[in-house]
Every structure is written in C-alpha cells, then in structure tokens.
C-alpha cells in the first residue's frame, strides 16, 4: 500500500463506439500527494478528461483501481459515489457549467441544499466564498451578467462550498482571455497553499508556472517530460 492521497493503479478505460473500442486510458498508474498542484498535460484526445472523470467518480473504469483519501472509489455504487463527490471533491469545468437562471449566490449555495443547510447559512457561505474569489459585489448577478472570467471565479467558489480536500479542473482557462486565465491559476495556487490537492488538465503551458508536479499523457499512457517534448515536436 502507498500513502498517496490519490493512488491510481493500472487504470484502463475503453469506450465502445459501435464495433470499435476506443482506448482512452491504457494502463495509467500514478501517486499524488496531499497538498500538491498537479498539471495533467496532453494534446486533445490523449485522455485527460477521462482520467479526471475517473478520479472524480463521474464514470467507472473498465479495470484498475482508484484510491482517494483512503477510499477505493472504482467499486462504489452510484449512491456512494454521490457522497464521495459531495464530501471530497470540487470540480471546475472549461465551460463553467453555472445554472443560468440562478444568481451567483444561488449557484454557489446550491450543493449545500443536499446537505440540508438552511437558506441563511447558504447565503453566509456564498458570501464568504465570493469574497475569497474577489467578487463579493457581484453576488446577486446571474451568469449572463458576468464576464467569462467572473463566471469561472463563481465556479471556483461553488467548487469550494463543501470545503473538499481535492479540486479537479478540466481546462479551466480554455475559454478565458489571458488575464482572466491568470486570475484562475492564481486562485488555484492559493488553494494549494491552503492545503488542498489540485489536479488540472490543461494544454496551456503557462499553468506549469503554478504547478508543483507535472503529469504527461499521450494516447492514454503516461510519458516522461523528455518523451513528451520529443513526441510533440514530431507532431509539429
């Protein structure tokens, strides 16, 4: 046994596309320590989102095991996975995924409804988180009244609402301008410094400036930094 916070063993994920099998993950093993900022690098189609979804308990692997904070999640049923996601995870997506009819406050407080938290407490929590991401004066705004960068900051606040130890982000700066992207990376860096474990899928090399660890994926397999550089050069 290892003492990794996230421990992935020989992970395989094969999608069936009609008659053909797509090998999205081809035997991935890795250890991630608590409190580290990990960047998952890889070109489009290399399996980054698939790996994040497996660690995030959004889908089951074909084979292999995933331990997070001492819990083996690959065998969990849907109910236990829902609890795991609520207690352990914050997920940030490229396209923000905010509910457009709800204010920032309601979007952030929404996950707390499932924990039976009362409206007033949800508001207090949302306010504190909006302050943390520097948007307290926008708490009553809906997504359409916010810029992309502001929407992603609301999404970061929502990911933090249950104070999860693990933050997963799938191309969180992919839809943002340069400056807004930097703000998101700095927020993630702050979260890492406050003790959270961060895994970010990205092909934006700027994020390497904020990371403590780098993971390279090519065609569903981990490769060294040197192998990664060499292969990408050959691809042009």
Closest to 174 in 3D by CA, of 205, 202, 200: 202
202 in contact with Mg ion (CB under 5 A):
no
Contacts (CB under 5 A) with Mg ion, residues 18-77: 48-49
Q: Are 200 and 173 in contact (CB under 8 A)?
A: no
61 in contact with ligand ADP (CB under 6 A):
no
- The residue within the footprint of ligand ADP, chosen from 7, 39, 48, 68 (CB under 6 A), is 48
Region binding ligand ADP by CB under 6 A among candidate stretches 26-34, 43-51, 105-113, 223-231: 43-51
Nearer to ligand ADP, 42 or 90 (CB): 42
44 in contact with ligand ADP (CB under 6 A):
yes
Q: What's 233's DSSP letter?
A: H
End-to-end CA distance of the chain: 41
Region binding ligand ADP by CB under 6 A among candidate stretches 40-48, 123-131, 137-145, 157-165: 40-48
Contacts (CB under 6 A) with ligand ADP, residues 7-36: 15, 17, 22, 24
Residue 24 binding result from ligand ADP, Mg ion, none, given CB thresholds of 5 to 8 Å by partner type? ligand ADP
| Tally of CA atoms within 13 A in the half-sphere of 96 that contains its CB | 23
Which residues contact Mg ion (rule: CB under 5 A)? 48-49
Which residues contact ligand ADP (rule: CB under 6 A)? 15, 17, 22, 24, 42, 44-50
């Amino acid at each position: 046994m290892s003492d990794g916070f996230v421990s992935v063993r020989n992970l395989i994920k094969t999608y069936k596309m009609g008659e053909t099998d797509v090998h999205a993950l081809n035997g991935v093993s890795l250890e991630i320590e608590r409190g580290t900022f990990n960047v998952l690098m890889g070109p489009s189609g290399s399996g980054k989102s698939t790996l994040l979804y497996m660690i995030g308990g959004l889908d089951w692997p074909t084979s292999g095991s995933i331990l997070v904070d001492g819990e083996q999640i690959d065998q969990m049923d849907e109910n236990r996975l829902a609890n795991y996601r609520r207690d352990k995870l914050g997920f940030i997506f490229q396209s923000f995924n905010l509910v457009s009819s709800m204010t920032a406050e309601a979007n952030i407080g929404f996950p707390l409804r499932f924990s039976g938290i009362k409206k007033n407490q949800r508001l207090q929590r949302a306010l504190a988180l909006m302050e943390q991401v520097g948007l307290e004066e926008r708490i009553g705004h809906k997504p359409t009244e916010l810029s992309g960068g502001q929407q992603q900051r609301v999404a970061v606040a929502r990911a933090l609402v249950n104070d999860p130890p693990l933050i997963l982000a799938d191309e969180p700066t992919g839809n943002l301008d340069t400056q807004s992207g930097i703000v998101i990376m700095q927020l993630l860096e702050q979260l890492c410094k406050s003790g959270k474990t961060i895994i970010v899928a990205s092909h934006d090399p700027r994020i390497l400036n904020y990371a403590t660890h780098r993971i390279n994926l090519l065609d569903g397999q981990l490769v060294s930094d040197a192998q990664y550089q060499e292969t990408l050069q050959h691809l042009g």
